[in-house]
Every structure is written in C-alpha cells, then in structure tokens.
C-alpha cells in the first residue's frame, strides 16, 4: 500500500482531540452518574449516623452496632466505586468504538480537529476493530504512556494501540 496519499495525524493534533473528547465524556458521565451519586450519597449519609436513634442499654451493644454499620458502609462504598469504574469504562468504550466505526469515522473531538480513523488501506473500521483499538489504549497507557508517544515518532504516526488494531489516524486537511 502506498501511504504517500495519506495525511497522518501527529501526536499533538491527536492529543487535542483527546482533550475535547475527555471533556465531552466527562460531562456525559457526570450527567449519567449524578443520580447514582445522589442515591448512594444519601444512603451512606444515613449509614454514617446508624440505623437507630443511637441509644442502647448496653454500651458494648452500641460499639458492636457501630462496627457493623461501618462495615456495611465501607462495603457499599467499595461496591459503588467498582460500579462507577465499570460504568465509566463502558461509556468510554461505546463512545470511542461506536463513533470511530460510524460513517464519520471519528469521535466529536477528532471531528473538531479534522481527524478520522481508518484501517491500513484507508477504509472505515469495524466496531470490533474499534473495540480492539480502544482496549489497546490501556496497554498504551500502562507502559508510561510510551504507547501514545509513539504517534509522534513512527513513520505513519501510529500509537501502539493503532499498530495493534491495524489502524491509522488521518487528517482531512
């Protein structure tokens, strides 16, 4: 394949598109997760004060009761955090994979900068390939972000996750 016809998107353009996408995703996640924060926040506030009026005949019973309440509160908080992390990953995955596999071939941030994602031949990528590219970003980030930095130094301006998924990020202009 002759790549001279392609205009590869470099690191800084991609970084700016990612900043825009992060702001959009952050706003969407805030709106979608706000009800969960309110429900769990109010629920945990109630647990902090205990289930009863705080009076007990035996002080040992009161201490034991408070420990049980703390265990329940901490368990709920851990479950809440796990649920929020899972929801966050799902929202981000669907945003990136659905948008990059769409006819526009780009997220809103990429569209704003004039970038789009293709396979190595310049064709639209499938949802499966877009999914692989998204989860490949985890590896790009885990190795001290070196996987992302590769987009600034490789011939086709590919980050590690692009190489893994067989994708290119191109400029329209």
SS (H, E, C) 120-158: CCCCCCCHHHHHHHHHHHHHHHHCCCHHHHHHHCCCCCC
Structural domain span for residue 153: 11-171
- At 56 the pLDDT is 47
Structurally, how many domains does the chain consist of? Answer: 1
* Tokens read off for 108: 């809103």
N- to C-terminal Cα separation, the chain: 21
Q: Is the dihedral of CA 7, 118, 145, 82 positive or negative?
A: positive
Q: With H, G, I as helix, E, B as strand and everything else as coil, classify residue 2.
A: coil
**Residue closest to 100 by CA, chosen among 127, 137, 136:** 127
* Cross-strand bridge partners of residue 115: 171
92 in a structural domain? yes
156 in a structural domain? yes
155 in a structural domain? yes
94 in a structural domain? yes
H or E element in which residue 115 lies: strand 115-119
3 in a structural domain? no
2 in a structural domain? no
pLDDT in tens, the chain (173 residues): 667 789 999 999 999 999 999 999 999 999 988 887 787 765 655 555 554 555 444 444 445 556 787 788 788 889 888 988 999 999 999 999 999 999 999 999 999 999 999 999 999 999 999 999 999 999 999 999 999 999 999 999 999 999 999 999 999 98
CA 80: distance to chain centroid?
17
């Amino acid at each position: 394949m002759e790549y001279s016809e392609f205009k590869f998107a470099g690191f800084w353009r991609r970084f700016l598109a990612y900043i825009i996408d992060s702001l959009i995703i952050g706003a969407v996640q805030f709106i979608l997760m706000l009800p969960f924060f309110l429900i769990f926040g109010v629920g945990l506030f109630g647990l902090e004060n205990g289930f009863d009026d705080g009076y007990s005949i035996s002080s040992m019973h009161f201490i034991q009761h408070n420990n049980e309440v703390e265990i329940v509160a901490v368990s709920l908080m851990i479950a809440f955090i796990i649920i929020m992390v899972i929801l966050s990953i799902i929202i981000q995955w669907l945003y990136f994979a659905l948008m990059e596999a769409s006819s526009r071939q780009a997220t809103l941030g990429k569209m704003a900068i004039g970038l789009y994602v293709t396979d190595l031949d310049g064709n639209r990528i499938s949802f499966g390939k877009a999914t692989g590219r998204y989860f490949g970003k985890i590896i790009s980030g885990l190795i001290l972000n070196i996987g992302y930095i590769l987009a600034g130094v490789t011939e086709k301006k590919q980050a590690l996750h692009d190489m893994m998924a067989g994708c290119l990020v191109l400029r329209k202009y």
